[in-house]
Homo-oligomer: A and B are copies of this chain.
Amino acid sequence: MTRGRRQAPVSKKISESAVRRLSLYLRTLEELDRAGQEMVSSEQLAAKSATTAAQVRKDLSLFGSFGKRGFGYTVEELGRALRDILGLTQPWRVALIGAGRIGSALFEYRGLTHRGFQIVAVFDCDPSKIGRKWGDSMIRDVAELERVVGDLDIQIAILAVPVEAVQGVMDQASRAGVRGVLNFAPRRLKVPAGVTVKDVNLVIELESLTFALSQGV
Protein backbone atom coordinates (compact mmCIF):
# COMPACT_ATOMS: atom_id res chain seq x y z
CA MET A 1 0.00 0.00 0.00
CA THR A 2 1.37 3.38 -0.95
CA ARG A 3 0.96 6.47 1.10
CA GLY A 4 -2.13 8.42 0.08
CA ARG A 5 -1.33 11.63 -1.72
CA ARG A 6 -3.33 14.75 -2.13
CA GLN A 7 -4.04 14.85 -5.82
CA ALA A 8 -5.23 18.41 -6.20
CA PRO A 9 -5.47 21.58 -4.17
CA VAL A 10 -8.49 21.20 -1.96
CA SER A 11 -11.43 23.13 -3.35
CA LYS A 12 -13.89 25.08 -1.28
CA LYS A 13 -16.41 22.30 -1.66
CA ILE A 14 -15.24 20.41 1.43
CA SER A 15 -18.05 20.82 3.94
CA GLU A 16 -17.53 21.73 7.58
CA SER A 17 -19.09 18.44 8.57
CA ALA A 18 -16.68 16.46 6.37
CA VAL A 19 -13.74 18.17 8.06
CA ARG A 20 -15.21 17.37 11.48
CA ARG A 21 -15.53 13.73 10.48
CA LEU A 22 -11.85 13.69 9.46
CA SER A 23 -11.04 14.80 13.01
CA LEU A 24 -13.19 12.01 14.38
CA TYR A 25 -11.50 9.44 12.13
CA LEU A 26 -8.11 10.72 13.31
CA ARG A 27 -9.17 10.24 16.96
CA THR A 28 -10.19 6.67 16.15
CA LEU A 29 -6.94 6.00 14.32
CA GLU A 30 -4.89 7.31 17.24
CA GLU A 31 -6.85 5.11 19.60
CA LEU A 32 -6.33 2.04 17.41
CA ASP A 33 -2.65 2.90 17.09
CA ARG A 34 -2.28 3.06 20.87
CA ALA A 35 -4.03 -0.32 21.07
CA GLY A 36 -1.48 -1.73 18.61
CA GLN A 37 -3.88 -2.31 15.72
CA GLU A 38 -2.20 -1.97 12.32
CA MET A 39 -5.04 -2.15 9.79
CA VAL A 40 -8.57 -0.80 9.89
CA SER A 41 -11.56 -1.20 7.58
CA SER A 42 -13.85 1.64 6.56
CA GLU A 43 -16.59 -0.29 8.39
CA GLN A 44 -14.66 -0.12 11.66
CA LEU A 45 -13.79 3.55 11.21
CA ALA A 46 -17.45 4.22 10.47
CA ALA A 47 -18.71 2.29 13.50
CA LYS A 48 -16.47 4.34 15.79
CA SER A 49 -17.63 7.61 14.25
CA ALA A 50 -21.38 6.95 14.07
CA THR A 51 -21.36 7.14 10.29
CA THR A 52 -21.38 4.68 7.38
CA ALA A 53 -18.52 2.95 5.61
CA ALA A 54 -19.65 4.62 2.37
CA GLN A 55 -19.37 8.03 4.05
CA VAL A 56 -15.86 7.23 5.30
CA ARG A 57 -14.76 6.23 1.80
CA LYS A 58 -16.39 9.31 0.30
CA ASP A 59 -14.80 11.67 2.84
CA LEU A 60 -11.34 10.21 2.32
CA SER A 61 -11.67 10.17 -1.47
CA LEU A 62 -11.93 13.96 -1.38
CA PHE A 63 -8.26 14.06 -0.49
CA GLY A 64 -6.70 11.27 -2.47
CA SER A 65 -6.53 7.55 -2.67
CA PHE A 66 -5.99 5.77 0.61
CA GLY A 67 -6.08 2.13 1.55
CA LYS A 68 -6.46 -0.94 -0.60
CA ARG A 69 -9.69 -2.61 -1.57
CA GLY A 70 -10.24 -5.68 0.61
CA PHE A 71 -7.40 -4.79 2.98
CA GLY A 72 -8.50 -1.51 4.47
CA TYR A 73 -6.23 1.27 5.65
CA THR A 74 -2.90 1.22 7.43
CA VAL A 75 -3.68 2.86 10.77
CA GLU A 76 -0.40 4.74 11.03
CA GLU A 77 -0.29 5.91 7.40
CA LEU A 78 -3.88 7.09 7.28
CA GLY A 79 -3.34 8.89 10.60
CA ARG A 80 -0.31 10.64 9.17
CA ALA A 81 -2.21 11.63 6.02
CA LEU A 82 -5.11 13.02 8.06
CA ARG A 83 -2.75 15.01 10.28
CA ASP A 84 -1.25 16.43 7.11
CA ILE A 85 -4.66 17.32 5.63
CA LEU A 86 -5.80 18.89 8.89
CA GLY A 87 -2.69 21.04 9.11
CA LEU A 88 -1.35 19.29 12.21
CA THR A 89 2.16 18.57 11.01
CA GLN A 90 3.37 22.10 11.64
CA PRO A 91 3.46 23.80 15.03
CA TRP A 92 0.99 26.68 15.47
CA ARG A 93 1.90 29.73 17.52
CA VAL A 94 -1.05 30.79 19.60
CA ALA A 95 -1.98 33.86 21.65
CA LEU A 96 -4.35 33.22 24.54
CA ILE A 97 -6.38 36.34 25.19
CA GLY A 98 -8.18 36.36 28.53
CA ALA A 99 -6.49 35.08 31.67
CA GLY A 100 -9.67 34.19 33.51
CA ARG A 101 -11.12 30.85 34.44
CA ILE A 102 -11.58 29.50 30.91
CA GLY A 103 -8.22 30.89 29.85
CA SER A 104 -6.57 29.19 32.77
CA ALA A 105 -8.17 25.82 31.98
CA LEU A 106 -7.04 26.16 28.36
CA PHE A 107 -3.53 27.14 29.37
CA GLU A 108 -3.28 23.98 31.46
CA TYR A 109 -4.84 21.76 28.84
CA ARG A 110 -2.17 19.37 27.69
CA GLY A 111 -4.18 18.40 24.61
CA LEU A 112 -3.14 21.69 22.99
CA THR A 113 0.62 21.24 23.26
CA HIS A 114 0.19 17.61 22.39
CA ARG A 115 -1.33 18.61 19.01
CA GLY A 116 1.31 21.24 18.25
CA PHE A 117 -0.50 24.33 19.56
CA GLN A 118 2.01 26.40 21.49
CA ILE A 119 0.59 29.19 23.61
CA VAL A 120 3.43 31.68 23.23
CA ALA A 121 1.72 34.68 24.81
CA VAL A 122 -1.09 35.33 27.30
CA PHE A 123 -2.97 38.63 27.44
CA ASP A 124 -5.47 40.30 29.73
CA CYS A 125 -6.67 43.85 30.34
CA ASP A 126 -6.93 43.55 34.13
CA PRO A 127 -4.03 45.47 35.77
CA SER A 128 -4.13 43.04 38.72
CA LYS A 129 -3.35 40.16 36.33
CA ILE A 130 -0.87 41.84 33.97
CA GLY A 131 2.70 40.96 34.94
CA ARG A 132 1.77 37.74 36.76
CA LYS A 133 3.46 34.57 35.62
CA TRP A 134 1.67 31.53 34.21
CA GLY A 135 4.30 28.85 33.77
CA ASP A 136 7.00 30.54 31.72
CA SER A 137 4.59 33.14 30.32
CA MET A 138 4.07 36.55 31.77
CA ILE A 139 0.55 37.85 31.34
CA ARG A 140 0.79 40.86 29.03
CA ASP A 141 -1.37 43.91 28.56
CA VAL A 142 -3.79 43.32 25.69
CA ALA A 143 -2.82 46.81 24.47
CA GLU A 144 0.46 45.18 23.34
CA LEU A 145 -1.35 42.61 21.24
CA GLU A 146 -0.58 44.07 17.83
CA ARG A 147 3.14 44.42 18.50
CA VAL A 148 3.53 41.00 20.13
CA VAL A 149 1.62 39.11 17.44
CA GLY A 150 4.09 40.44 14.90
CA ASP A 151 7.17 39.94 17.06
CA LEU A 152 6.30 36.36 17.96
CA ASP A 153 4.84 35.40 14.58
CA ILE A 154 1.52 34.33 16.08
CA GLN A 155 -1.03 32.81 13.69
CA ILE A 156 -3.91 31.84 15.97
CA ALA A 157 -5.69 33.63 18.80
CA ILE A 158 -7.86 31.97 21.41
CA LEU A 159 -10.44 34.45 22.70
CA ALA A 160 -11.50 33.67 26.25
CA VAL A 161 -12.79 37.12 27.14
CA PRO A 162 -16.21 38.34 28.32
CA VAL A 163 -18.87 38.66 25.66
CA GLU A 164 -18.91 42.45 25.94
CA ALA A 165 -15.22 42.68 25.06
CA VAL A 166 -14.89 40.02 22.41
CA GLN A 167 -15.63 41.96 19.22
CA GLY A 168 -13.12 44.67 20.17
CA VAL A 169 -10.45 42.09 20.90
CA MET A 170 -11.28 40.30 17.65
CA ASP A 171 -10.77 43.57 15.73
CA GLN A 172 -7.40 44.10 17.41
CA ALA A 173 -6.34 40.52 16.68
CA SER A 174 -7.23 40.73 13.00
CA ARG A 175 -5.47 44.09 12.64
CA ALA A 176 -2.45 42.43 14.22
CA GLY A 177 -2.44 39.80 11.48
CA VAL A 178 -3.98 36.81 13.27
CA ARG A 179 -5.53 34.51 10.65
CA GLY A 180 -7.38 32.01 12.80
CA VAL A 181 -9.50 32.50 15.90
CA LEU A 182 -11.02 30.12 18.38
CA ASN A 183 -13.79 32.03 20.14
CA PHE A 184 -15.17 30.97 23.51
CA ALA A 185 -17.51 33.92 23.97
CA PRO A 186 -21.19 33.45 23.06
CA ARG A 187 -21.12 36.09 20.36
CA ARG A 188 -20.99 35.63 16.59
CA LEU A 189 -17.97 37.64 15.48
CA LYS A 190 -17.64 39.91 12.50
CA VAL A 191 -14.30 39.32 10.78
CA PRO A 192 -12.55 40.57 7.67
CA ALA A 193 -12.06 38.27 4.68
CA GLY A 194 -9.12 35.93 5.15
CA VAL A 195 -9.73 35.39 8.88
CA THR A 196 -11.37 32.15 10.02
CA VAL A 197 -13.30 31.89 13.27
CA LYS A 198 -14.48 28.76 15.06
CA ASP A 199 -16.73 28.93 18.08
CA VAL A 200 -16.63 26.70 21.14
CA ASN A 201 -19.51 27.44 23.35
CA LEU A 202 -20.66 25.52 26.32
CA VAL A 203 -23.58 27.80 27.11
CA ILE A 204 -24.95 27.75 23.56
CA GLU A 205 -24.73 23.95 23.47
CA LEU A 206 -26.36 23.62 26.87
CA GLU A 207 -29.20 25.88 25.83
CA SER A 208 -29.78 23.98 22.66
CA LEU A 209 -29.87 20.87 24.86
CA THR A 210 -32.41 22.30 27.30
CA PHE A 211 -34.44 23.59 24.35
CA ALA A 212 -34.64 20.04 23.02
CA LEU A 213 -35.44 18.60 26.46
CA SER A 214 -38.12 21.12 27.32
CA GLN A 215 -39.77 21.11 23.89
CA GLY A 216 -39.59 17.34 23.68
CA VAL A 217 -38.00 17.69 20.23
Task: Tell whether, in the assembled complex, residue B215 and residue A87 are in contact, meaning their CB atoms are under 8 Å apart.
Answer: yes
Which of B101, B108, B180 contacts A212 (CB under 8 A)?
B180
User: Which residues from B are CB-within-8-Å of A155?
Assistant: 213
User: How far, in Å, is A19 (CB) from chain B's closest CB?
Assistant: 5
Chain B nearest CB, measured from A160 CB (Å): 11
A195 CB to nearest B CB, Å? 10
How near does chain B come to A60, taking the closest CB pair, in angstroms?
14
**For chain A, which range describes its interface: under 10, 10 to 19, 20 to 34, or 35 or more residues?**
35 or more
> Which single residue of chain B is at the shortest CB-CB distance from A24?
B188
Are B117 and A187 neighbours in the complex by a CB distance under 8 Å?
no
Scan residues 194-215 of chain A and give those whose CB is less than 8 A from a CB of chain B: 196, 198-215
A-B contact sample (15 more), CB < 8 A, given A23-B208, A115-B203:
A19-B208, A20-B204, A23-B204, A24-B186, A50-B189, A85-B211, A86-B211, A88-B210, A92-B213, A102-B105, A109-B202, A180-B210, A182-B205, A198-B206, A200-B201
